[in-house]
Amino acid sequence: MRILLAASAIATFCGAIELGEPLEDILKGARDVVRSQPASGNIIVIGVDDKTATELGGVSFSRTVDAQLVDRLFAAGVKSVYFDRAYSDPTTVAADTAFATALAKHRGRVYLGAMTQVSGQNSGLLSTILPIPQFRKAADYRSLNGFRTPFALSAKLTFSDTFEGRDVPSISTAMAVLPTSRTGFYRPDWSIQANTVPTYSFVDIVKGRIDKRLLAGRTVVVGPTAPRLNDYQQLVFQGWIPGAFFHVIGAETLLRGTPVNYGWIPAILVVIGLGCVYLWASARRVRTTAVIIALAALVALPAFLDAALITVDVLPALLLFLIVAYRGLMLRRIEASERTNPLTGLLNIHALRNGTVFRDATLVAIKLRNQSEIAASFDESVGDRIIQEVCRRLTIGQTETEIYHGDDTLLWMTSLPMGLELAHHIEGLHQLSKRSITLDGRDVDLSLAFGIDADFERPMTSRIGSAMLCAEEASQANDIWKLYDPHRQDEAAWALSLMSRLDHAIDTQELWVAFQPKASAASGEIIGAEALVRWQHPTRGLISPDQFIPVAEEANRIDRLTEFVLDRAVEGAASITALGHSFSIAVNLSTQMLLRPDLSEMIDTILARHQFPHASLTLEITETGQLVSSPLKLAMMKKLSQRGIQVSIDDYGTGNATLEYLKLLPSNEVKIDRRFVFNIVNDQLDRILVESTIDVAHNLGRTVVAEGVESEAVRAALVGMGCDVIQGFLVGKPVDLETLKRRVGIGRGQLRTG
């Protein structure tokens, strides 16, 4: 409040004494240049110029010539004539009589000038200059008064003046036919350019050298334009202009409307309101809006008002707002120093506790696990560089985010809601953090742990504590992050926890591969198996693949999981073939993996590591609908097939696994979904569908595998249809590798249900 009061007092003082009037005139002149426009051409100037002086032997020619001019003008059809001259001194009787006669002849249509001026250089007394009585009897007069602003940057004209005890309109008021009751001064619209006013030489009119059509119907101002007559006034950005043009521009202005001058008070009042908004607004965008509105009100709006002949002075208001903006900025800097960390300049926890902008944002605490080791290896100055680099990596791809710096923890407010997108983002940040940074010529590895709080209802102080606690627990448990979830039943929280432990689960053998045997339909001999991933979570127990595989695909985490399953499956199958058995292994492959450029090389490496033949590996692909429209995926399937790897269309008959895709996709095998196989003995329609599928697949050169075989009757029916391979509980449930080995070794021709 004190800032605003002090600024208002200073601005009011400057406005009251018109301290900034010269600058105000420059601003107005600049706006006039932007709005520059031509005169209407209805008022013309007849100038006593150098040409006139040359032809008439000087500028003090006889008034009989003035009489000739008046007669010539009205003979040409002008409306009225105004002399920018008082004719206050008598000359010869003959000349004055001739001029008076011409004036009387056109009484009411021709006017002389009258003015007041200071008598003596320092007396301050005003004297009145009027036409001589002889002329006043023949013609009326009009005021020529006006005044220049400081430094002659602009000028103002009068509406009317008092002469001989009566109100006399100015020349401009008379030409605009305004009431004589108006008093005071007005600022003409100086955007009207003086050089566009039609101007003719005095002598050319007298000698009849001007086409009468150029004069007919016009109002005429006669005045000196020769530089030697010293009747020039200055206008900023227009230069020095003869006085007659001032009256013409004044009349042009009044013909368009009556100028109004509201002075400096309205702008001051507007800026005081905007200053209040600027000083008390907490949001930066509100303060920015206040600045934009202030600039528009002080710069752009006056230009529109000028066009409407409304004048406002903005310099005092501009001074006020500059003082308020500067002092407000300094005050905020002082406050900011109390709310920032001195090491990095980031907002501190105090600012987070008392802020309001990010109340509904997810809070993430970030702990640098190896901060102590780094601090011990470098001097104190590297701390801010490390924090700045972490912050840079955190904000990659983020538009709405804020980072706060505590003593040993960063607190990150992000607009990302709790869910898979946040999980994926933090996983990306964790990967970024693994990239070393160079400090003083040394590579430094960063290790970050994240604690997440998404409970918007709790106080910020509690949320800060929860997030920091979770970050500490994640650091101690060597997890990527931990989510604060007091109820432990939030599925979104479980999804985050699930993904955060996936890599850990692979590393710690929580993830393992089960094998479901496959047998020859005709002989019942076990000839291979399908690899199925299993997750034995230490607290959740056995987690179904349906829970974590779709999540891994959505979070783009399927690569390492697929590589893990492939390696374990091939390793297990190779250990069985090493016992002297012919054995194949099938592994499910996400279509996302087909976009991995080095997929075939990765598979080659695994097969070579375990010395397992390409032809004994089958890749089962389910989401076939995504393949036809993806040339890259189709190309990878062809590449795998050309290397001898078997490609199977899984779950045939459901979703997009149709005849069209069977035709288009490069594959070696068709796997009929269990829902069609399970009841072929009792359901004639299922039987027809399965039998026709087997026939089509065989005709296309594909092997057929039937899932869901749980009885001998179903197997017998499939054998009758020519099915190649069966899989289901009749053959065996998913088992671990050692159990499968015993099963294969005990009896390869006998179907079992264990």
Residue 753, pLDDT > 50, answer no
pLDDT band (50, 70, 90) for residue 754: very low
pLDDT at 563: 93
Written as six digits, the tokens of 246 are 């001032």
pLDDT band (50, 70, 90) for residue 443: confident
* 3-state DSSP assignment of residue 453: strand
**C-alpha to C-alpha distance for 284 and 685, rounded to whole angstroms:** 70
Instruction: Identify whether the C-beta of residue 315 lies closer than 8 Å to the C-beta of residue 30.
Output: no
Residues 319-345 pLDDT 10s: 888 888 877 777 777 766 666 776 666
| Element containing residue 147 per DSSP (H, E) | strand 146-148
Instruction: Identify whether the C-beta of residue 731 lies closer than 8 Å to the C-beta of residue 521.
Output: no
Instruction: Identify whether the C-beta of residue 39 lies closer than 8 Å to the C-beta of residue 196.
Output: yes
Q: From 411, 552, 554, select the one nearest 471 (Cα to Cα).
A: 411
What mean pLDDT is predicted for residues 674-679? 91
Written as six digits, the tokens of 83 are 């002399």
Residue 317, pLDDT > 70, answer yes
Q: From 126, 178, 132, 131, select the one nearest 157 (Cα to Cα).
A: 178
pLDDT at 400: 59
Mean pLDDT of the chain: 85
Which string of DSSP letters, residue by residue, matches 709-748? --SHHHHHHHHHHT--EEESTTT---B-HHHHHHHHHH-T
Which of 66-80, 163-177, 442-456 comes out lowest in average pLDDT? 442-456
Residue 166 pairs in a beta bridge with 163
Written as six digits, the tokens of 200 are 């003719």
Write the class of the CATH domain 349-500.
alpha beta
What mean pLDDT is predicted for residues 437-460? 79
At position 606, the amino acid (one-letter code) is I
pLDDT band (50, 70, 90) for residue 630: confident
At position 622, the amino acid (one-letter code) is T
Domain ranges of the chain: 2-18+263-336, 36-258, 349-500, 508-746
Question: How many angstroms from the chain centroid is the CA of residue 703?
Answer: 58
% of the chain exceeding 70 in pLDDT: 88
Instruction: Identify whether the C-beta of residue 709 lies closer than 8 Å to the C-beta of residue 718.
Output: yes
**C-alpha to C-alpha distance for 633 and 595, rounded to whole angstroms:** 6
Residue ranges of alpha helices (H) inside 555-630 are 558-577, 599-610
Q: From 343, 419, 352, 347, select the one nearest 381 (Cα to Cα).
A: 343
pLDDT at 406: 74
Instruction: Identify whether the C-beta of residue 588 lies closer than 8 Å to the C-beta of residue 620.
Output: yes
Pick the most confident of 81-95, 146-160, 318-332.
Answer: 81-95
Determine phi and psi for 620, rounding to 5 degrees: -95, 125
pLDDT at 210: 94
Which string of DSSP letters, residue by residue, matches 246-294? HHHHHHHHHHH---EEEETHHHHHHHHHHHHHHHH--SHHHHHHHHHHH
Length of the chain: 754
pLDDT at 335: 67
Q: What is the DSSP letter of 628?
A: T
**C-alpha to C-alpha distance for 671 and 652, rounded to whole angstroms:** 6
User: What is the DSSP pairing of strand 584-588 with strand 617-621?
Assistant: parallel
What does the angle CA 559 – CA 565 – CA 569 come to, to the nearest 5 degrees?
A: 145
Residues 235-279 pLDDT 10s: 888 889 999 999 999 999 999 999 999 988 898 888 888 888 887
Distances (CA, A) of 235 to 24, 192, 221, 307, 506: 13, 12, 20, 18, 85
What does the angle CA 203 – CA 209 – CA 214 come to, to the nearest 5 degrees?
A: 105
CB atoms under 10 Å from CB of 29, counted, come to: 18
pLDDT at 496: 59
Determine phi and psi for 256, rounding to 5 degrees: -90, -20
Instruction: Identify whether the C-beta of residue 701 lies closer than 8 Å to the C-beta of residue 660.
Output: no
Residues 6+ positions from 220 with CB-CB distance below 8 Å: 43, 44, 45, 46, 73, 78, 80, 81, 82
**C-alpha to C-alpha distance for 629 and 330, rounded to whole angstroms:** 60
* 3-state DSSP assignment of residue 450: strand
**C-alpha to C-alpha distance for 552 and 443, rounded to whole angstroms:** 32
Q: Which residues of 389-420 are buried (b: 16+ CB within 10 A; e: fewer)?
A: bbbebbeeeeeebbbbbbeebbbbbbebebee
Which of 224-228, 500-504, 623-627 comes out lowest in average pLDDT? 623-627
pTM: 0.50
**C-alpha to C-alpha distance for 291 and 306, rounded to whole angstroms:** 22
At position 233, the amino acid (one-letter code) is Q
CB atoms under 10 Å from CB of 248, counted, come to: 31
CB atoms under 10 Å from CB of 331, counted, come to: 12
Which of 99-103, 323-327, 369-373, 578-582 comes out lowest in average pLDDT? 369-373
Written as six digits, the tokens of 167 are 């109100």
Residue ranges of alpha helices (H) inside 655-700 are 659-664, 674-677, 684-699
516: left (phi over 0), alpha (psi -120 to 50) or beta: beta
Residues 6+ positions from 638 with CB-CB distance below 8 Å: 666
**C-alpha to C-alpha distance for 248 and 171, rounded to whole angstroms:** 9
Instruction: Identify whether the C-beta of residue 145 lies closer than 8 Å to the C-beta of residue 246.
Output: no
* 3-state DSSP assignment of residue 624: helix
Written as six digits, the tokens of 240 are 């020095």
Instruction: Identify whether the C-beta of residue 511 lies closer than 8 Å to the C-beta of residue 503.
Output: no
pLDDT band (50, 70, 90) for residue 118: confident
Q: From 204, 247, 193, select the one nearest 56 (Cα to Cα).
A: 204
Residue 43 pairs in a beta bridge with 219
Instruction: Identify whether the C-beta of residue 386 lies closer than 8 Å to the C-beta of residue 433.
Output: no
**C-alpha to C-alpha distance for 172 and 175, rounded to whole angstroms:** 5
- Which CATH architecture best describes the domain 508-746? Alpha-Beta Barrel (3.20)
Q: What is the DSSP letter of 201?
A: E
Residue 609, pLDDT > 80, answer yes
Residue 124, pLDDT > 90, answer no
**C-alpha to C-alpha distance for 12 and 267, rounded to whole angstroms:** 11
Instruction: Identify whether the C-beta of residue 31 lies closer than 8 Å to the C-beta of residue 303.
Output: yes
% of the chain exceeding 90 in pLDDT: 45
The label of the residue with tokens 């448990």 reads 477
pLDDT band (50, 70, 90) for residue 53: very high
Question: How many angstroms from the chain centroid is the CA of residue 207?
Answer: 69
User: What is the DSSP pairing of strand 437-439 with strand 409-414?
Assistant: unpaired
Written as six digits, the tokens of 230 are 């010293």
Q: From 734, 735, 727, select the one nearest 751 (Cα to Cα).
A: 727
Instruction: Identify whether the C-beta of residue 570 lies closer than 8 Å to the C-beta of residue 577.
Output: no
